């Protein structure tokens, strides 16, 4: 992972203990991301999710959804809303763009491998399946594996859904780059009625 380098949207490798490397025991130390992974964060807060694309007329008077808080067992937290999900998509695309420019193939990009800092900044982590592509920039998967698509977001607008569909194009050249995704998601974030 040291070949990836430092970036605001990549979980930082802080250190390693190689004292027992002959026994293949290496302990890695990563920065602490207080809010855990995106998957668990979303699941824990789904009951209070605010769909900013489909706000009812009665709730449109809310000026700042992000200031609305909910009390959880382990403390108080602001509500999860559409804007958070799109902001994380931008941050994930930013981190992935950085590692792609380093010719690194992540290999396991999933919500469980995206960690959230104290201030809810998304960081790409778990580089256990990462491969450094030294002399070529295109990774070809040799096995015929099913796509890891379990579900599509029920709260996505048609433009967001279309972006996600483009990411699953069978031909790599037909998929948007991470840089393109950053711009597309930013465009969708800018359209939110309440930010």
25 is catalytic: no
Q: Which of 25, 84, 97, 108 is catalytic?
A: 108
The 3-state secondary structure of the chain reads: CCCCCCCCCECCEEEEEEEEHHHCEEEEEECCCCCCEHHHHHHHHHHHCECHHHCCHHHCCCCCHHHCEEEECCEEEECCEHHHHHHHHHHHHHHHHHHHHCCEECCCCCHHHEEECCCCCEEECCCCCCEECCCCCCCCCCCCCCCCCCCCCCCCCHHHHHHHHHHCCCCHHHCCCHHHHHHHHHHHHHCCCCC
Would you name the residues annotated as active-site residues?
108
């Amino acid at each position: 992972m040291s070949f990836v380098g430092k970036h605001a949207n990549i979980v930082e490798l802080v250190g390693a203990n190689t004292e027992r490397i002959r026994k293949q025991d290496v302990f890695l130390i990563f920065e602490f991301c207080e809010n855990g992974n995106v998957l668990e964060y979303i699941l824990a807060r789904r009951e209070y999710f605010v769909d900013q694309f489909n706000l009812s007329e009665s709730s449109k008077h809310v000026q700042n959804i992000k200031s609305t808080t909910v009390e959880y067992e382990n403390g108080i937290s602001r509500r999860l809303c559409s804007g958070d999900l799109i902001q994380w998509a931008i941050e994930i695309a930013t981190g992935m763009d950085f590692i792609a420019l380093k010719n690194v193939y992540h290999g396991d990009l999933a919500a469980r491998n995206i960690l959230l800092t104290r201030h809810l900044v998304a960081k790409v982590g778990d580089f256990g399946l990462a491969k450094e592509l030294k002399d070529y920039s295109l990774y070809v998967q040799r096995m015929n594996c099913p796509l890891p698509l379990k579900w599509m977001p029920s709260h996505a607008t048609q433009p967001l859904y279309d972006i996600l569909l483009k990411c699953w194009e069978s031909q790599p050249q037909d998929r948007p780059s991470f840089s393109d995704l950053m711009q597309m998601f930013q465009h969708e974030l800018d359209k939110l009625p309440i930010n």
